[in-house]
Amino acid sequence: MRRSLAPSQRQLATTPDAKRRRVSTPASIGNNTSLRTENFSTAVNTSGTMGKAMEKSAHEQFIRELLAKPFRVPLANYTPSATTKTLGCRRPLGPRPMHDPFEEGSLVLWSPEPGQSKEMVHVVVDPALSRVLRPHQREGVKFMYDCLTGVHIPESYGCIMADEMGLGKTLQTITVLWTLVRQGPVYGQSTVKKALIVTPSSLVKNWGNELKKWLGERARYIALEGGSGAAIDAEIGSFLNNRCVSILILSYETLRVHIEPLKNSKDVGLVVCDEGHRLKNADNQTYRALSELKTSRRLLLSGTPIQNDLLEYFSLVHFVNNGILGTAAEFRKKFENPILRSRDAYSTEAERERGTAKLTELVAIVNRCLIRRTNALLAQYLPVKHELIVCCRLTDIQKEAYLRFTRTYDDKSCTALAAITWLKKICNHPSLVDNHVSTSRKTEKADKVRGPGARESMKGPKIDPAESGKFLILDGLLAAIKATSDDKVVIVSNYTQTMELFEQLCRLRGYGYVRLDGSMSSKKRDLLVSQFNDPQSPDMVFLLSSKAGGCGLNIVGANRLVMFDPDWNPASDQQAMARVWRDGQQKACFVYRFISTGTIEEKIFQRQTHKTLLSSVVVDSEAEAERHFSAKDLRDLFRLDEEEFYSSTHSQIKCTRCVNNIQVRQPPEEADVSSDLSLWHHYHSSRQFNTDAALKKVWQLGVSFVFAQSSHKPKKVP
């Protein structure tokens, strides 16, 4: 009988040992079933183990053969080198820009032309900065970069950034500076090795804080906040010799004293002058010291490039781009004289035509290196700002003192400047004039101004709001604000004695207050501002000296500001008034400018308006200012306009929108705070006035007239 085998048995039967066993097995054993089964099991186990061993042995042999073969490069006719080959370093990708020019939102300042050297690459603003720039700031950065690299004016590398306060000149400057010291059109080379930031001493620390804010630890800089002469020299030497430090921040005074090592350095490729209107006089030592620096790349920052006259404006342009307006004498003859004659109220038609032509020519030249945008751009980012020029009547005491002084004024015993200061102090508060004269003449002068017997009560300035028209209105305004809101108020004055009266008033009424003047260090000043801006601060009033704190402060904790007395320089007032309407402000702002009706203050304000108009027609070329004041009008300072019941300024502008002391026609819709005064709202009484409830409530205390205008129309909430 034929027996069938399982698959494992068939595999076993194929091995040589199995064949031998089958041949040698006796026939008798094959008939024994139990023995046959036992031998079969043993054979299966033995042969399985041996099979596995054979398979393992064959695998090991296969691996050894693979490893024994040397690596061969799979290329035809390849001849190997005798040296050992390694993976090596990644091959360079070739010249490429520091940042991706094709990334969404990138700001490209320069692009290579087709066919230019492969070493030329795009110049792209650091994305950390470009993503926070507003549209007008991106435009400003591009303009400054083009000026500083000679694109706008060949062989001239200067620029004036003249944006009004609050538009972000600092951020734009940091952006273009950082780009220049880090990148350039040639791959691997920066346009500028080292840069100087020259600023008022009170802003040195602020610039350092701004660099940290926007660039973090990447910005390696040295800020010279003070110290001995040897220590400052050592810091300057460290800046010049350390490749890792590319920015030096120092004050104008420090630069003037320590100019020697800086003027001899070839690595200083850019100088930034903050509050650049300080360079309006080409004859001062600071101007000369800065002019000694070898760099031709000069960036001047000023929100008010024209402050007093066109020749000062020439000095600024001449500093950044020497020669584009000729010499000072050539500029005066070609531009200044015809433009000023055309602005006079008594100019002829021919003079006005020639002045307009010269103005157009001047603007065309300057616009290649100057960029200016107005606060109108802030309308989309900030709450509305209301500006109110408040004309305040003199009290009887003030009027008597004012008239007595003007009648007895003697230019031999009192200079014109001293007389002007005296009259301005009477406008603030009559008690202030007691401290104006020397001790030897104090009694005589006090009798002349305030009458006999006044000396007994005049042992120092004392606050009595009823003696001053402006203090009466300020006292009532603060009370109305306190009673109806949680608003905070900044009060600004040019005189520290007036600020002492503010302190007395705050203590008298129980208002919490802080004071900042020239005696305070920069560190304490920053701490004071930070504490006042805290919503939890109990202080309601911030007393500010316009000379000490008019620049660089960000007092957004307050939304109301009172400019108590005007300065001859409109830039000083504008700087001070810009402290509250800035980035970070959350409330509608009210800016009050107090002017004593019919006095020297109105004439100063008219002179300010004349200077502002001059700035408007030269810098803000789109503004169409009317001709209001003649040179003769502006020289008439001392006379008190006793017959002027409302405002001599309103009478001067020859308003056609007011009839019988009532505004019968509204200003144009597009008018704003930068418009001419003739385009503001004019209020002779409180009946039509609804701009500010607090001021309306205290109108009867002595307000004679109000000019009012807003930055923009507030958005209506649906």
Same domain assignment for residues 468 and 339: no
The SS3 assignment for 581 reads: coil
3-state secondary structure of 371: strand
Orientation angle between helical segments 600-618 and 310-320, nearest 10 degrees? 40
Structure tokens at 173: 């400057």
Q: Which of 507, 497, 475 is nearest to 430 (CA)?
A: 497
Which contacts (CB < 8 Å, 24+ apart) does range 377-382 have? 377/136, 377/167, 378/166, 378/167, 378/581, 378/711, 379/711, 379/712, 381/134, 381/583, 382/166, 382/581, 382/582, 382/583, 382/585, 382/711
- Contact between 336 and 309 under an 8 Å Cβ cutoff? The reply is yes
Cα dihedral: 41, 47, 52, 54 (round 10): 180
- Establish if 66 belongs to a structural domain: no
Tell me the C-alpha distance between 544 and 558, whole Å. Answer: 12
pLDDT value, residue 636: 67
E strand or H helix that includes residue 222: strand 221-223
Walking along the chain (718 residues) 10 residues at a time, the average pLDDT comes out as 48 47 45 49 55 77 82 75 67 83 94 87 96 96 97 94 89 98 94 95 89 93 90 94 94 94 92 91 90 93 75 91 93 91 84 92 93 84 93 93 82 71 92 56 44 43 87 97 96 93 95 90 84 94 82 86 86 82 90 94 79 53 43 62 78 84 90 88 92 96 94 66
- For residue range 338-367, list pLDDT tens digits in order: 988 887 768 889 999 999 999 999 999 999
**What string of DSSP letters covers 134-165?**
-HHHHHHHHHHHHHHTTSSSTT--EEEE-PPT
**One domain for residues 332 and 406:** no
Distance in angstroms (rounded) separating the CA atoms of residues 616 and 626: 11
Half-sphere exposure of 169 (CA within 13 A, CB side): 28
- Residue 208 in any domain: the answer is yes
pLDDT of residue 28: 44
The residue among 335, 359, 369 whose CA lies nearest residue 623 is 359
Residue where one domain finishes, among candidates 356, 373, 390: 373
pLDDT of res. 618? 53
The confidence score (pLDDT) of residue 108 equals 96
Look up the CATH number of the domain holding residue 545. 3.40.50.300
Q: Which of 346, 373, 400 is the C-terminal boundary of a domain?
A: 373
Pair (334, 404) in one structural domain:
no
Nearest 10 degrees: Cα torsion 174, 177, 181, 187:
110
| Residues 334 and 417 grouped into a single domain | no
Shared domain check, 479 and 623:
yes
Domain annotation covers residue 442? yes
Residue 44 falls inside a structural domain: no
How many residues make up the chain in this entry? 718
Domain boundary at 373, 403, 423, which? 373
Task: Report if residue 641 sits inside a domain.
Answer: yes
**Is residue 684 situated within a structural domain?**
yes
CATH number at residue 314: 3.40.50.10810
Q: Which two tokens stand for residue 370?
A: 């100057």
Burial level of 716, CB count in 10 A (0-12/13-18/19+)?
exposed
Q: Is 383 found in the same domain as 367? A: no
Are 382 and 329 found together in one domain? no
pLDDT at 621: 45
Give the closest residue to 251 by CA, choosing from 197, 195, 200.
200
367 and 496 in a single domain? The answer is: no
Flag whether 30 is in a domain: no
Our count of domains for the chain comes to: 2
The pLDDT, as a whole number, for residue 549 is 62
382 and 281 in a common domain = no
Tell me whether residue 226 is in a domain.
yes
User: What proportions of the chain, in percent to the nearest 5, are helix, strand and coil?
Assistant: 45, 10, 40
Q: In this structure, are 341 and 290 located in the same domain?
A: yes
Segments forming the whole domain that contains residue 454: 377-710
Q: Do 174 and 210 meet the contact criterion of CB atoms below 8 Å apart?
A: yes
| Same domain? 321 vs 464 | no
Q: For residues 216 and 301, state if they share a domain.
A: yes
